[in-house]
Structures are given as structure tokens and as C-alpha cells.
Structure 1
């Protein structure tokens, strides 16, 4: 799967759209005449961008007033994916999501004392990193897929701009999240002892075995874009060598352990579990 073009709807985003077009060597289509159009008109325009004779799903980058999203479009469906840090749903979870009682908080060791520093090696759209940053952790993040990394970076940018006007506490949270332009293995290998994190967090992509309703559509798109993290076993070994306190691996509840390595202990929920490898 490959993103084929960038479509600019909002003129306010032109500079960012041009920078992204240059980075990916993609055509930039000016559709700013649709800036005030109804969603149906925009959807119709996007469908008209499908290349004639294309038998596969088409993917575009789309810049609207709310920043960058990835659009999957075909004759029968249209799906947008973006990094979201300030929508009402995300804001509600931030304020009412369970705090340090959440399983992810327990997994990284957020109990008493200072919040740990965390390296999120497989950040994706930053959802788990944002939860931890909301709880006081300082986060460094890598995401090796350039398209996904661009979505994450732009989502943080737009959320910070929104927060500066509407919620300064959100800006403070995002300031604890640093996105590194590298892949996880390269970053970990280059880490000096003084920069080693307390926790390395891994959430490698796991194969989708079917297309049941239980699997979110967004996850199917991610599998097409990201593929399978075939080097996840090697990454676990490197993470255990670099983490000061623990490595946390997020897995589907029924998935095998990475590298067949038995964790120190696990926390299990309804659909996911966290395998914790205590270091030192």
C-alpha cells in the first residue's frame, strides 16, 4: 500500500502540505475551493481522485482545518485516520479514564514516587504514549513507518496549537512527548548510559487473522500500511539491554510471547495483556 497524493482542503495548512509533499515526493492537489464545502461534497471529490482502473484501495493524505489525516477510499467506503489528542472523546478519557488505576499505568510502574521516563519504540498514532504523558511520564517515541510518523507529528502540532488557545494543560502534556526521527533499533543502539529510559514500551504489530466485526477497520488499514513487525523479537532483546527498570510489551490477549521469552509477570485484560520484563 502506498499513499498516492496529497489533497489540500484548508488554505491555512498550505505550508505544511507543501513540506509533506516535498518530503514524500508526492503531487499536491489544490482543493481549497472546498474549504467550506459540506462533507458529502468533499467525499465525492475524494472518490473522483481514484485512479481509473485501480483494482486496489487508494490512499491519500488530506489536509483540512484539523490538520493531516490518511484517507482510504474506494467505490464503497471512505475511512479517515488521524492522530487525535483533543477531541471530546480523547478529552473525556484524559479526565475520566481511570488515572493510575489503568492497566497500562500499572504495567510501566506508575505507583508511588516519580513517574518513570518511557521510550515508546512503536508509537503508532501516539495513543498509549499520550495516556502515559497525561499521568506524568516523560516520553520519547519512535515510529519507523514515515507515513504514520507524519500523522503523529502533525497531530501533536495541531493539538498544541489548539491547546494554546483552549487548554494550556494539554500543551504541558504534549511537551512531555518527544518524537524522534529514527527507527527504534537505531535509536536504542545509539543510546548512551546517561540517556537510558526507565521503561521501554513495545506494541509490535500482530497479524490480523480475519476481518470480523471485532477488529476495528482502522487496524486493518494499519496492517496494510505498516505490515508485520518481523523484527519484534530482536527489538525485545535490545530493549531489555537498554531499559533501566523494565520492558513492557503490549500484546493481544491470545498472542504468543515475543521471542518465546517468559516475562517476569503479566497483566491481562479482556482483549490485551501486558508482559513485563523486570531489568537489573
Structure 2
């Protein structure tokens, strides 16, 4: 089996995965010993310094990735959540406390911003390594006075959003369907790697491209009760050429395409 990442098989790491409520079985094909050499290996998931970290094997990509919602750029953004473009796109004209499915949660930063704005968020992340980083960061945020009220509004689902949304539709329960579905598919790779943030280069090594993003958009429009919001590079086309958004909210380098339903 060709693997792009491994999880260091250590008792503390396994215990942390269980503590976070993640299925240990999701890591079965990735457990390995530190120092293993494989041709396609790009990164290592490990328990270090009291947190789960994703460490690139490329020394040019710098420090390991760990999720910290309370400091740095994310810490600044969540304290002014109502001014964020994503919150304006998800809210529309509604003043209600909406329910949101973040269908491509990744490291959960957008989920945290939405929860800081008062929304209940289900964060779907199907890639086990990324789901572990997200769940670990969220759990540590619960220990903070400022972060706990926000973190409690987020539920991590380590599954594909296809499964979640399909099940909600099949159940036929109108109340269970989300008001809004948010998609942030992996942007197309730029021609100059230097232009891509180091963190995103590690992320791409592990996750790859979202080749099923168009199908997910179609499903999201059927599942959402109010709207679907898609994050796109500012100068790119719509996610689906045949499906134009109702309107857009423009930022400096990205935009939000909004599809009312």
C-alpha cells in the first residue's frame, strides 16, 4: 500500500484518539513506527508537546501543524466574527441562530468563526489525520474560558459530508436538515509552489484535491433549507459552470458564492 502519511503508533497517541471520540479503526492502515521509510511518505501524525501534530518530512515546510483556535490569526478572527465574510454569507438577511454543516471542515477555522457568531456547526472531515488535528484543537479550546462557549457549538463528524447529507435526506426529517451548508473545496494548485502557504502544501500532500466537489454541491443544495455557501478564489469561475450562484460576496483574495434554495 502506498501511503502519503503515517500515524506514529504510541500508547499516548492511541489513547488521545480514543479520548477524542474518533474511531481508532480509521487509522488501522496508517499506524506505523517512527522512522519508517516509504517512497511516497510525505508527513507524520504524532502526539508531541501535549497535542496532536502533523509534521512534514520536507524540512523546507517548517514547523509541524497543530490546531490552535485561540491565538494568532484565528484568535483575532473569532473575536470579531460578525465582521467576517463567511458569517455575512452564511447569515444572509437572517437574524436567527442558524444550523450549519461545514462540509469540508479541514482544520476547522471557518467552523470556529461560525460558532463564534452563534451558529451550531457540524464539522465534517473525512480524512483521518485532519479530523484528528481538528478534534484535538477543539478539545483544547474547551479548556479556555474564551474558547469553551464557542467550541461547545461544534460537533466534529469524522465522516464524508456525502454520508451525512445523504442520511439526513433519506431520513425525511425536515427539522434535522441544516439551514446552511458551507463548502470550501481545495483550491486548484497554483503553478508556482512558492505562492502557496507552507501549511497548505503539507495539507495538500495528505488530503489531495477535492475531485468530488461538484457532486457535493449538488447534494448540498438538496439538503440545505436556506442556502449553500461556497468559498472560491476571487478570480476563479463558479464551482460548477452550469450552476451560477445567486450572488457573491467579494474579499481581497477570495469570495463567497451564495446559492439560495
Provide the TM-score with structure 2 as the length reference: 0.85
CA contact (8 A) 1:100 1:111 kept: no
| Larger RCO (CA under 8 A, 6+ residues apart) | 2
Residue 84 (str. 1) matches residue 89 (str. 2): no
CA contact (8 A) 1:7 1:61 kept: no
Consecutive unaligned residues of structure 1, counting only runs of 5 or more, are 30-48
Q: Return the index of the structure with the highest Cα Rg.
A: 1
Q: Deviations over 1:29-81 (max 9, x none)?
A: 5xxxxxxxxxxxxxxxxxxx363xx6656411121234101000246554311
Shift >6 Å, 4+ stretches: 11-14, 17-21
Query: For residues 250 and 211 of structure 1, do their structure 2 counterparts lie closer, same or farther at Cα, with a shift above 3 Å needed?
Result: same
| Corresponding residue for residue 178 of structure 1 | 155
| Corresponding residue for residue 136 of structure 1 | 118
CA distance in 1, matches of 2:149, 2:68: 16
Q: Deviations over 1:136-173 (max 9, x none)?
A: 0110111111111111111112222x31xxx1x41111
| Corresponding residue for residue 247 of structure 1 | 228
| 1:268 maps to which of 250, 256, 260 | 250
1:192-203 correspondence runs (5 A): 192-203=173-184
SS of residue in 2 equivalent to 1:200: strand
SS of residue in 1 equivalent to 2:63: strand
CA distance in 1, matches of 2:17, 2:177: 35
Provide the TM-score with structure 1 as the length reference: 0.79
Q: CA RMSD in A?
A: 2.6
CA distance in 1, matches of 2:36, 2:60: 12
Query: For residues 6 and 240 of structure 1, do their structure 2 counterparts lie closer, same or farther at Cα, with a shift above 3 Å needed?
Result: same
Consecutive unaligned residues of structure 2, counting only runs of 5 or more, are none
Query: For residues 50 and 258 of structure 1, do their structure 2 counterparts lie closer, same or farther at Cα, with a shift above 3 Å needed?
Result: same
| Corresponding residue for residue 158 of structure 1 | 140
Shift of 1:275: 0.3
